[in-house]
Structure 1
């Protein structure tokens, strides 16, 4: 069963009937590979759309039936999906830029949805995602979340590592969780960092990697020289489209948190993705960081 917008499915993958096929629109990061690997492991034949400049360098995705498209060429997607027999679509991975309108290639399908597309572009990241979802569903395709393809990607609640947060770390988790939810309400970002019970950095357009790099720079420049430990928290934006752009962490997040001098990472349980889960936890244990799934009603 495909969940309705705003709902999360509790641990059961979608079941494809004979003749149904999934397309994965692949952006940057490890999420597209995790989704494609999950589909292949279940015996399905995914079609992968590599967004040029985002996912086209991932050789593992090219082992499957695929096409590479500039983001401005997405007006050709619906006809391509019909040609490939696509019934379900997954949006996976990041996109570093928005389409340049003057470079978009006009197609009959694009012209038919242009008003919706322009409206979505004006509504911020979550508004754009909601518009994309509606456009594809109006064309008869089912949009499904990455967590519906690979349910194990969803973060469970509770401590996941050998290291555990101290009482001081818990205060950092609380502060960062509240801050992350606040900026999410404004459609700014999904993450925040707190050190010493005080929020010191918020995620912006540069994403989590940039957030961690800024925190590391503040340590290196002495702005946080006296502050110890600290925590990164990522959580879903209030009311966001949950079938796309769920907050995610992976081994690279653990490396970045360690480089920034943080003690650990908290993610909103059931509404966040953990990529390359076994590697992520193993690396956190090696570095002595905690990783914890926080209850969604924490705030």
Structure 2
């Protein structure tokens, strides 16, 4: 461990993301202390970190105390939490007090409040991409096939609508077919929204996922991966636009290879690309 190493407190959700962040933080010479949540987290994280503890969702005081006891200096959140199941949590006093103060319970509002609580205890909250920068979506055309004229128009429509929805802290993804929004993402998640949108719009839908304007990028970056691209083929969707530099793309090389074999177009969206 080098002299500049720190103790990173990892709040681990599900999927491969917390594993990649834990490995990346350790590779940079840091000590990693992880908290997982029963029924929500990837338990493989336990095997590769220095110290770990399993808690129930809502045990905020125990989480804070565990990090303090283990000398954590920076906190990073990575991985998915099953949002419908999260309604079943029984918050401890500190979590209940935090929730009571919030006028709304949207993702961004809640995560900002949690970030403020960590910072009030002296922790520095950092984005997970600091330890896994390879996951950031590149800009521009990522596949061999370019979007058709209609798909490009749908990407522009989806970009505009998704950003407006993001400002209201609703979701990050929309499905578009020939200028018509066939689905918007809410609590169900991207893959369920895509399935619904494609079932309504039919073959030829485009999917757009963006970073919410003003979103807290240290704790909630939009993400997408191979499962979504694979689902596109099954559902007949033909084009995917993901905001570049502010979104995470898991298994990108595998996704591009699959997309190229199946005539699917993937674009790393920027405002310049959409406007041109």
The TM-score, its normalising length taken from structure 2, stands at: 0.88
Relative to structure 1, the CA distance from residue 116 to residue 104 in structure 2 (aligned partners, 3 Å threshold; closer, same or farther) is closer
Give CA deviations for 1:36-56 in whole Å, capped at 9, x if unaligned.
Answer: 232233343322211221114
| 8 A Cα contact 1:121 1:128, kept in partner | no
Equivalent of residue 285 in structure 1, options 248, 260, 274: 260
In the alignment, does 2:103 pair up with 1:124?
A: no
Relative to structure 1, the CA distance from residue 33 to residue 279 in structure 2 (aligned partners, 3 Å threshold; closer, same or farther) is farther
Equivalent of residue 173 in structure 2, options 182, 191, 201: 191
Question: Take 1:17 and 1:284, find their aligned partners in 2: how far apart are those partners?
Answer: 44
Counterpart of 2:58 in structure 1 is 72
Give the number of aligned pairs: 270
Question: Take 2:191 and 2:131, find their aligned partners in 1: how far apart are those partners?
Answer: 25
Counterpart of 1:59 in structure 2 is 44
Listed as ranges, the gaps of 5+ residues in structure 2 are: none
- Range that drifts further, 163-172 or 38-47: 38-47
Post-superposition offset of 1:121: 7.3
Relative to structure 1, the CA distance from residue 157 to residue 126 in structure 2 (aligned partners, 3 Å threshold; closer, same or farther) is same
The TM-score, its normalising length taken from structure 1, stands at: 0.82
Post-superposition offset of 1:100: 5.1
In the alignment, does 2:120 pair up with 1:138?
A: yes
Matched residue of 2:138: which SS?
A: coil
Relative to structure 1, the CA distance from residue 150 to residue 195 in structure 2 (aligned partners, 3 Å threshold; closer, same or farther) is same
In the alignment, does 2:234 pair up with 1:247?
A: no
Higher relative contact order (CA 8 A, sep 6+): 1
| 8 A Cα contact 2:22 2:45, kept in partner | no
Relative to structure 1, the CA distance from residue 99 to residue 195 in structure 2 (aligned partners, 3 Å threshold; closer, same or farther) is closer
In the alignment, does 2:246 pair up with 1:271?
A: yes
Q: What is the correspondence of 1:213-232 to structure 2 with a 5 Å cutoff? A: 213-216=195-198, 218=199, 223-225=200-202, 228-232=203-207
Post-superposition offset of 1:197: 2.5
Counterpart of 1:9 in structure 2 is none
Equivalent of residue 81 in structure 1, options 62, 67, 73: 67
| 8 A Cα contact 1:33 1:61, kept in partner | no
Post-superposition offset of 1:145: 0.6
Listed as ranges, the gaps of 5+ residues in structure 1 are: 1-15
Relative to structure 1, the CA distance from residue 120 to residue 25 in structure 2 (aligned partners, 3 Å threshold; closer, same or farther) is farther
- Range that drifts further, 289-298 or 192-201: 289-298
What value does the CA root-mean-square deviation take over the aligned residues? 2.3
Question: Take 2:27 and 2:213, find their aligned partners in 1: how far apart are those partners?
Answer: 33
Question: Take 2:161 and 2:125, find their aligned partners in 1: how far apart are those partners?
Answer: 30
Post-superposition offset of 1:19: 4.8
Matched residue of 1:122: which SS?
A: coil
Post-superposition offset of 1:264: 2.1
Post-superposition offset of 1:99: 5.9
